[in-house]
Structure 1
């Protein structure tokens, strides 16, 4: 199966087909985007499930979204979020400079030989936490703004998608080949032969 087919199957079976109200599923998707953008790499699933339970949203629908943040995508995503937060808080000036932030993030991601070694190292996670704390308000504000901006249209799209999926059923998104109906004899058209 190709990538598009896998993505479609994941959306259809894991999000649209959930057994919950469309609003709760869509709110879970929204919360998934907000949490995915926060600088809580490594804690996002725990944070999401906890917030989902408190806010009474679907605990499953946002989990696939959390995987957009990983050690490979963290640098560009958090760099953009810091830039956005810095622009909002300081008008683009003041605070730490972009070069300083980029150098700090690159330093943290380059201290180990491989991504797998980083993921398994408690020292790596400690350094990531320290770097995130030092980047402070700019990163958090930019992350929350990004999460809300991405989550709002995702909420509307998933709400519409769940309702459409339920209105038209599974066959609307997963059409099956037309199978001819078996020949059923219409009893009114020809009476059965008499019994002798």
Structure 2
């Protein structure tokens, strides 16, 4: 697997690294940028993969962003690895503004406002939905009564507005990243080709000089 670690990290360590990677988010960003630029593909295909990954971060499918990015990249014929790495555009530093913009836009498009849905806090709606999932799962094996109220509120006031509202800002942000990525990746690839060609030319000249020296000695 491309992203699998050889050493298994404890859950607490993995959570801490997600919230604040070793070396900081700046170093993590430069690492991802370096890996994306070195992908063996055309700038356009890599940029389409980046589009898919960035757009995915504006969707509410938090636990399956890799899968969503993979499917969108396949649909756009973009680079799959670029799409997976671009999902790191969504991180603890960006999820709050992404969520706020997506929810605000979604409620506006659906004809209501976040303030009108303030009877229960944002976090409380997640808790209620999680409680319903747990209760309804246990209801399959016990005499508990299924309760869908918390899930219904979560869908109407969080998930659906987020899904609808993330499309426009997600598409805009992903498109900006696409047009910025193409010339940067192309320039990097051209510069890298020149460096590799220069190294090969130096090796070839050295080999030719050595061959000439052997021929003269004979």
Same fold (TM over 0.5): yes
- Asked whether the equivalents of residues 28 and 62 of structure 1 are also in contact (C-alpha less than 8 Å), the reply is yes
1:59 equivalent to 2:80? Answer yes
1:82 equivalent to 2:111? Answer no
- Asked whether the equivalents of residues 41 and 70 of structure 1 are also in contact (C-alpha less than 8 Å), the reply is no
Partner deviation per Cα, 1:55-98 (whole Å, 9 max, x = no partner):
321111122332344678655532321112233443xxxx3543
* Structure 2: runs of 5 or more not aligned: 1-21, 138-147, 196-205, 210-218
Structure with a larger share of its residues in helix = 2
CA distance in 2, matches of 1:109, 1:138: 14
What's the counterpart of residue 180 of structure 1? Answer: none
TM-score normalised by structure 2 residue count: 0.58
**What's the offset of the Cα at 1:46?**
1.0
- Asked whether the equivalents of residues 107 and 114 of structure 2 are also in contact (C-alpha less than 8 Å), the reply is no
CA distance in 2, matches of 1:6, 1:72: 12
Alignment of 1:143-158 (within 5 A): 143-158=166-181
- Asked whether the equivalents of residues 104 and 131 of structure 1 are also in contact (C-alpha less than 8 Å), the reply is no
User: Which structure has the higher relative contact order (CA within 8 Å, separation 6+)?
Assistant: 1
CA distance in 2, matches of 1:102, 1:70: 28
**What's the offset of the Cα at 1:107?**
0.5
What's the counterpart of residue 7 of structure 1? Answer: 29
The match for 1:41 among 62, 68, 82 is: 62
1:98 equivalent to 2:115? Answer yes
- Asked whether the equivalents of residues 101 and 169 of structure 2 are also in contact (C-alpha less than 8 Å), the reply is no
How many residues get paired?
159
Seen in structure 2, the aligned counterparts of structure 1 residues 109 and 87 have a Cα distance that, compared at 3 Å, is: closer
CA distance in 2, matches of 1:50, 1:9: 24
TM-score normalised by structure 1 residue count: 0.64
1:169 equivalent to 2:180? Answer no
